[in-house]
Amino acid sequence: MTEPDFLRATRASYDAMAVDYAAWIQDELAAKPLDRAVLAGFAELVRDADAGPVADVGCGPGRLTAYLHRLGLPVFGVDLSPRMIAEARRAHPALRFEVGSMLALDLPDRALGGILAWYSTIHLPDERLPEIFAEFHRVLAPGGHVLVAFQVGDGVSHRTKAAGHEISLSFHHRRPGPVADLLDQAGLSVHARLLREPDDHDDYPEDTPQAFLLARKPGGATA
């Protein structure tokens, strides 16, 4: 099967800027207490459900994989970019990281208790979201949770340069309502939504609101 152009472009872009991106992003979470709170709530729910390990899908250099590990979760990272995975393994040698695509996770059915998709669906065309969420549903165990974060807005922006590197990345801004509807249609029941206003932090400024959707696959001990 021919690989979609957007996957090739995304992989090549993150491979090109992996080292510089890892250095830039490493302290972002420390600057965003509300984001940490969202992740802590997700971690507590996953621990309580006790449905299996967690996959940080689109993990990049592994900073959130490591954060969830510190919160007590059995977690591993998956990313499309081999060079991002190399950075993750260098920074967090005790944790597991794998090259892979969320379009076809190399996992059996019902293998996971949680999925973190933290700004990792933003490079996907809208028409691929149902496919991605169906894949999340497949690999989640009953009672498992998924947390999806993304920029709020409409339309697509495109960047051709970052940190002095030539890239080709499309950023899909979306509204929380339609994304929540697609999660529900995939069998993942949304039970929490947070909309955060743009952060004006000097090192990590934002120009759009940020959305966080928490969904659960029905079943399990709490069903």
Helix/strand/coil (H/E/C) assignment for every residue in 131-156? HHHHHHHHHEEEEEEEEEEEEECCCE
Residues 97, 65: contact at Cβ < 8 Å? yes
Q: How confident is the model at residue 118 (pLDDT cuts 50, 70, 90)?
A: very high
Domain boundaries, the chain: 5-216
pLDDT tens-digit series, residues 121-144: 999 999 999 999 999 999 999 999
Of the candidates 121, 94, 101, 118, the one whose C-alpha atom is nearest the C-alpha of residue 186 is 121
- Rounded to 5 degrees, φ, ψ at 169 are -125, 130
Q: Quick check: 223 pLDDT over 60?
A: no
Q: How confident is the model at residue 38 (pLDDT cuts 50, 70, 90)?
A: very high
Q: How confident is the model at residue 221 (pLDDT cuts 50, 70, 90)?
A: low
Q: How confident is the model at residue 56 (pLDDT cuts 50, 70, 90)?
A: very high
- Rounded to 5 degrees, φ, ψ at 12 are -65, -35
Residue 139 CA to residue 123 CA, distance in Å, equals 21
- Give the mean model confidence (pLDDT) for residues 8-35: 95
- Homologous superfamily of 5-216: Vaccinia Virus protein VP39 (3.40.50.150)
Of the candidates 196, 191, 197, 186, the one whose C-alpha atom is nearest the C-alpha of residue 213 is 191
Of the candidates 63, 105, 107, 54, the one whose C-alpha atom is nearest the C-alpha of residue 80 is 105
Looking at the DSSP bridge assignments, the partners of residue 196 are 210
- Give the mean model confidence (pLDDT) for residues 81-92: 98
Of the candidates 58, 22, 41, 46, the one whose C-alpha atom is nearest the C-alpha of residue 150 is 58
**Which one has a higher pLDDT value, 24 or 221?**
24
- Give the mean model confidence (pLDDT) for residues 95-102: 97
pTM of the model: 0.95
- Give the mean model confidence (pLDDT) for residues 42-52: 96
